[in-house]
Amino acid sequence: MLSLVRSQQACIERTRAAIRWTKNIVVLVGAPGQGKTTIVEALVPKGLINPLRFEGKFLGDRTDVVLRMVGLTGLRPEGTNTDMLARLQSKKSPSPEYGVPEVIVDDAHHLLDDVLQLFHELTAGAYGRRWSILLVGEDHLVRRLQALKPMPVLPSTVRLPLWDQQDLKQAAKGLQSDVEISDLFSRVLGQYATQPKQLLRAINETGHKDLTKRQVGRTQTDRVQLSLSPTWQIVSGMVFVALIGLVVFVQMGTEHDAANPQTLIPLTPTNK
């Protein structure tokens, strides 16, 4: 698993601070695939604190949510919603002290308005004490909370930032050590800044292609060198043999001249 990048770490700290100090719902918003689940997983320490966690798209009406909360806390589902909510007050969790909410709802933009109102009532202490609740969803979740009736909700909002070059370089540092990450910025960062998974996948694919091209180029160069080497060896051998033959021929000619010196016969004048 890849370590969290700089912007994700900063987002986690902002979310923890909001959970510790806010007196209302905390909303973590971001684009689909931007890494909201990654932030939530890093927010909750493994094995130490277990908040009540729900998937918004699977929750029904107000009664359904109350029954699920009661069931997860080990209480008997008896009485009215108000009775069960009152009994839930005894299940106080120390998690807000560590920046971890008591209730986390993923895909909260799927929740019905009356369920959003219920969570607001819990954070406001309508049933005995204030609950710490984190709603995770897309940007329009904030607008829905602000438009609730009879009273609008003004949540503490934490937005996932877009990835920048530092995030990209940090995340891709161990993925393709042979690829120049700076060359990938213009090709992938602008297109996938809100989608870290697709961004890293694009880096892997682009980097692999670039690396493969370089490897193919090096292989072709090596093949040319290998194909030329025997040729040069043959040519060099032939030249060397020719030079030796020339030297031997010249040497033999010299020795022949030394062994058979030429005799000069003087020409005598003819007397008439």
> What pLDDT was estimated at residue 216?
43
**pTM of the model as a whole:** 0.69
Domain identity same for 192 and 104: no
DSSP 177-204: TTS-GGGGIIIIIHHHTT-HHHHHHHHH
Give every residue of the chain whose pLDDT is below 70, as ranges.
1-2, 47-48, 92-95, 172, 174-235, 237, 239-241, 245-272
Within 8 A by CB and 6+ apart from 217, the residues are: none
**Through-space distance between the first and last CA atoms of the chain, rounded to whole angstroms:** 124
Is 87 within a domain?
Answer: yes
Give the containing element (helix H, strand E) for 106: strand 103-106
Domain identity same for 150 and 169: no
**DSSP structure class, residue 95:** G
Domain identity same for 77 and 198: no
Q: What angle do CA 235, 240, 245 make, to 5 degrees?
A: 125
Kindly report the number of other CB atoms within 10 A of residue 9's CB atom.
13
Domain identity same for 44 and 153: yes
Helix 62-72 to helix 113-124 angle (10° resolution) is 50
Domain end position, chosen among 114, 142, 161: 161
Using one digit for the tens of pLDDT, what is the confidence trace for 134-191? 999 999 999 999 999 888 999 999 999 887 777 777 776 755 544 555 555 556 666 6
**What CATH number should be reported for the domain holding residue 47?**
3.40.50.300
> What pLDDT was estimated at residue 89?
83
For 34, the domain range is 6-161
Measured CA to CA, the distance from residue 112 to residue 11 in angstroms comes to: 27
Domain identity same for 103 and 234: no
Domain identity same for 156 and 168: no
Domain end position, chosen among 161, 189, 215: 161
Is 73 within a domain?
Answer: yes
Domain identity same for 157 and 186: no
Domain identity same for 176 and 114: no
Is 79 within a domain?
Answer: yes
Domain identity same for 184 and 143: no
Domain identity same for 88 and 14: yes
> What pLDDT was estimated at residue 272?
47
Domain identity same for 154 and 179: no
Domain identity same for 206 and 133: no
Domain end position, chosen among 123, 144, 161: 161
Is 144 within a domain?
Answer: yes
Note whether 195 and 185 are within 8 A (CB).
Answer: no
Is 257 within a domain?
Answer: no
Is 208 within a domain?
Answer: yes
Is 268 within a domain?
Answer: no
How many structural domains compose the chain?
2
Is 269 within a domain?
Answer: no
